[in-house]
Structure 1
């Protein structure tokens, strides 16, 4: 609906005051907002004042042309919102400057209004209030998009640094590692999900966010995590021990059985080795059929030693070649060793009759030549399983 000549005339009387209004907003009105006085003077005098000046002129142009939806009219607001997001200005402060700027403009219109121009003033306020939501919407949308992009970039950079540290690609003492807040001892974890489900990427991201939240709360610090669908690696930048209930809490959050291997690193220079050890502990617990839970090196000392490769490794691993094509035999052997060679416990775990377990173990002994009834044969079978798993 076109504005009356009286409304346009009233708005025109504000045009000579555009610069004055912009300065008042940037240097007086906004100063009452929490956090605004701490902004640099050049930001106030140049960027914020220029944005305020643009906003006042945009309103006056709308009054004259009645074209509030001209393409590009919010471009400067969007550019400034992106800058404020990059600089870290809180969104609430940015939006409050726009709201307060609208109020200052209303005060200016009221001050220049003459007796009898009340109806014209109402028309202008109507235009002002109708245009404000579009501006605030453009500012908030751009700010949030920019913050989201910046945070995604920061997360990607942090993940890259953590990955480089864990893999030994970023040497200790590198200047970039200052961003990770790693100075003294740290705790390194390897997480494993026994049977990752088939699920979409959105479900995976949600599950990983829940896992990250549990880790942060468990250690009361923002842990450095590289999480994937089947587990991941974690660096806790603190000299601490993992809570015994951590695997249970992770399993509850993810809906899956989770196993955790924990290794202490004396300092940043030891994190790479600690990560390798934790990953190896995790592999060993799986290869030996151990149930999910919290595992440390002391829990698998013998198995860890037996799984080290040397000139005899390939010959030990080859002892199980005769049953390599019989996965049910290997699984029976693995379960039997995990249950301290208790045939009934093995049968219960596999859902078999104890006699079936006996028959399978006899077949393994016959074809491989390993005497599972002797301590030496048990050690050989355990070492062969571990070394074959490492090769795989």
Structure 2
């Protein structure tokens, strides 16, 4: 909560006349009466105020009103001095924000309090004190501007802090559900999930060029999050970053495999992130299955990338053989090592990956890489020379594919 005074607090106002000060002084004995009238009468007409507990009205609200009344009356007597600050107003504004009172109700309570005080001054003034009354009303309204500023500033800051806490708690639950650090059923309950769901893994393309700033990254993540929320139109939960992440969606009754849902999401994401968006969805019947489903969805996307498949929606059937070949066992390290001789040649690795994806069509490979077909032939010959793999043979092709997949698995 901010503690520095607002610039308006140091504004010097003309001192009220002795007549105005005398009129204000006569109201000091009515402070408790006015506080009760505000807390139990004037404020009761405000939307949502009646729902506050009685002790809040009788203790906190009344104390705040008394503080405000005495602060005003003291300032009338010493307009140039520092006879108090708005710290209690700020403290109460933060409490009301935490309790969920709407800002308009809080501000209307301050306006209602000003009106009750004006009524008290008016009732106290005699006909000869009309000028003094005008001075006090002018003084009251100018001071109210600063009060409203302090209250609004604190309320908005507290709401922002509370919202950030809720978002971080939400992210922590999703993260714990995915990594197993939070009991699955507890995470489901706190996230408002129940029954079967779809676990979606998103991979978003990264822009080439100068490194983006942290502010730009946060803005992009907010845009992605808003787009995901609008596109799914459901109680989905997510853990997203600039590179993608996971989304857990209650399983639609009319789309159990999630294909239509994910196609819609993919189309929406392309509008913001470009055509390089990739995603895969895996069903999870219970909360306990979410972690494995998330891992499987991430593997499907990773394997599709490693194989050079075009971006878009990927399903297990698209990479069924490749998925099997990417599973690790005692032979995995030796197979992955077959490509070690070209690991420092990304041009050769990319050519091999694209060539396998395009079913050994040298012209299609050349078009995809922007090369001449003869250059593709030269690179493939160099790969065979360095690795000893004859990728034109079924066995050599299978070994090369498995090595690509296992190396991708190892690098994440």
Q: Which moved more, 1:193-202 or 1:81-90?
A: 193-202
1:372, distance to aligned residue in structure 2 (A): 2.1
1:5 aligns with 2:18: yes
Conserved in 2, the CA contact under 8 Å of 1:196 and 1:230? no
2:197 corresponds in structure 1 to 186
> Per-residue displacement from partner, 1:3-38 (whole Å, max 9, x unpaired)?
112111211221121111111111111111111111
1:34 to 44, 47, 51: 47
C-alpha displacement of 1:256: 6.8
**How far has the Cα of 1:255 moved from its partner?**
4.9
Name the CA shift for 1:307/1:141 in 2 (closer, same or farther; >3 Å): same
Q: Which residue of 1 aligns with 2:181?
A: 169
Alpha-carbon contact 1:184-1:267 (below 8 Å) kept: yes
Hey, what does 2:170 align to over in structure 1? 158
Deviations 1:229-280 (A, max 9, x none): 2222222244452331422321322357321122121121111111111111
Q: Residue 313 of structure 2: which of 294, 307, 310 is its match?
A: 294
1:285 is the counterpart of 2:304: yes
| Residue pairs, 1:121-160, within 5 angstroms | 121-160=133-172
Q: Partners in 2 of 1:148 and 1:172 — Cα distance?
A: 29
Aligned to 2:6: none
Structure-1 separation of matches of 2:205 and 2:387: 28
Q: Tell me which of 124, 128, 138 is aligned to 1:116.
A: 128
Gaps of 5+ in 2: 1-13
Query: 8 Å contact 1:31–1:37 — kept in the other structure?
Result: yes
Task: Identify the range of structure 1 (256-265 vs 352-361) with the bigger mean alpha-carbon deviation.
Answer: 256-265
Secondary structure of residue in 2 paired with 1:119 = helix
TM-score when normalising by structure 1? 0.95
Match of 1:267 in 2: 286
Shift of 1:384: 0.9
Contact 2:281 2:315 in 1 (8 A): yes
Is residue 2:77 matched to residue 1:64?
yes
Partner Cα distance (2:274, 2:115) in 1: 52
Residue aligning to 1:82:
94
> In 1, are the aligned partners of 2:178 and 2:291 still within 8 Å (CA)?
yes
Q: Aligned-pair distance for 1:223?
A: 3.0
Give the unaligned 5+ runs of structure 1. none
Q: 1:44 matched to which residue of 2?
A: 57
Counterparts in 2 of 1:256 and 1:20: CA distance versus 1, 3 Å: farther
Write out per-residue CA displacement over residues 155-203 of structure 1, whole angstroms, 9 at most, x where no aligned residue: 11221111111011112223x5422112211221212123344200111
In structure 2, what is the Cα distance between the partners aligned to 1:72 and 1:312? 77
Identify if the C-alpha distance between structure 1 residues 163 and 36 changes in structure 2 by more than 3 Å, giving closer, same or farther: same
Cα deviation, residue 294, structure 1? 1.3
Q: Partner of 2:359 in structure 1?
A: 340
Could you report, residue by residue, the CA deviation over 1:275-328 in whole angstroms, capped at 9, with x for unpaired residues?
111111121111111222111222211111110001111222122223223221
1:349 aligns with 2:371: no
What residue in structure 1 maps to residue 386 of structure 2? 367
Equivalenced residues, count: 390
TM-score, normalised via structure 2 length: 0.90
Q: Give the Cα–Cα distance (whole angstroms) in 2 for the partners of residues 256 and 24 of structure 1.
A: 64
Q: 1:255 to 1:114 in 2, by over 3 A?
A: farther
